[in-house]
Structures are given as structure tokens and as C-alpha cells.
Chains A and B, each alone.
Chain A
Amino acid sequence: MSDYIIFQDVDRCIGCYSCEIHCKANKKLPDGPRLCRIYQFGPKLVDKVPRMAFSFLACFHCEKPWCVSACPSKAMQKRPKDGIVYVEAEKCIGCKLCLYACPWGVPQFIQEDCVAVKCDLCKDRIDQGLQPACVTKCITGCLQFGRRELMPEEQVRRYELLATP
């Protein structure tokens, strides 16, 4: 895992898909690749109200990233200083091995340029002291960004809830 995480407060997410667009607009991506996705669950009837939930998924920035090991040209790499996993486009040979290697299908492909692309936690923004595009502009503020050890209490509380039988 990288030193940073994006935390999503599912209760606050309104499934507006804005984060997907914020990301694409920021990275000027063409048709096709989307670096984060919102997945809808439901509607499902819970206590007389049909409920929906929306889950935000980008890259997990794994501790031992399969995508990095799979890359033959060292284009996919893990940034030593904070563990962010990213593609260096100039080195990418377009072999798509990272797409196959990632268990969650996270890496995307830019057909026009024949290169892989994935969430890099907006490292250029982080380096300027800013937050990732998706987090910065999320309508409801349900996305939060921070250092892993400062993971919001709420998330910890939820883990605990899940862990207690």
C-alpha cells in the first residue's frame, strides 16, 4: 500500500459519477480509459425504502503490485518515496501485461497512444501539496485523502463493526 489512501464514506456518496469525470478531465484522457469507477449496488428494499449504494474504486497501490512485477519494460513502477504505483508512459511498450496481471483490472489502456495508464493518486498534485482531482472536487466530500496512518476514524470504526460478530 502507498503511504496515502483515498477513503470513501459510502453513506455520503450520491453516485453522481463526477469523480470519474474530474479524473478524466484532469488527465485529459480520451474515450475509453477511466481511472476510477463508481459501482452501483441496489436499489434493494431495506425497511420500506429502496436503498442504493455507490462504491468508489481506483487503484489499491498494492504493497507488492502484480502490475509492476509483470511489466517487462519497467514502465510500471512503485515510487520509492511513498509507494505510489504509476506508469511512466515513455517506457511503456503497450504489451498490456499489467492489464492481465492486476487481479482487479485496474490498469487501463490508451488505444491512440498504445500505452497503459492508471491511477497515480495524482502524484503531481500531491507533490504540489494539493489533493487528487477526484477528492478535491467530489460533490459531497465523501472522498477523503490522507496519509494511511491518519485513516479516518470512521473507517476504523466500520472495520471494527465488521470484525465484531
Chain B
Amino acid sequence: MTLELFLVVAVALFSVGLFGALTQQSIVMLMMGLELMLGGIILAAAALWHYVAPASTDGQVLIVLAVTVMAVEMAIGFAIVTALFRAREVDMTDEAAELKG
């Protein structure tokens, strides 16, 4: 168990999430990719807190921030998809490209 190992796991999660966010057509699946990326960031923050600066709480605050971002991303994402679907029956990124209502 070293800092590097934790970071490699975090980067792996981030990359897998990035793959999903880039390639998925459905907005909901795209958000799952974003969640995975944020999961990687949380892990990296926790590892950096533990191995580099455990005396300060900055790493922990970063995790609180990331967790909140996850919650906000989910809520807003679902609300937008719901609104989009209600207005135009669209739930794919390609069809939602133009933003006019």
C-alpha cells in the first residue's frame, strides 16, 4: 500500500469514467461516467490526505466538495433530462446538441 498504488487505482477509475463520458450516447449513461471520474478524484484526494498532508484537513474538505458535486451533478442532470424529454422526447446527447427550446 503506497501513495502511488492508490493514485494508479484512482487514475484507472478516472480513465474508465472518461471513456464512458466520451462514448456514451445516452445522457444518463454519460452521467454515470462523470460519477466514476469523481469517484477517482475522491480516492486521489483521500490518498493524498493520508500520505502527504494528514495534519491539515484540506484533503478531507476536497472530498466533501467532490461528494457534493456528485449530488448536484446527479440532481441537475436528471432534472435537465426530465425537462428535455418532456419538451422534445429526447434523451440522447446527439439529439440534444442544439439548445433552442
**A, B in one complex:** no
Measured CB to CB, the residues of A under 8 A from B are none
Measured CB to CB, the residues of B under 8 A from A are none
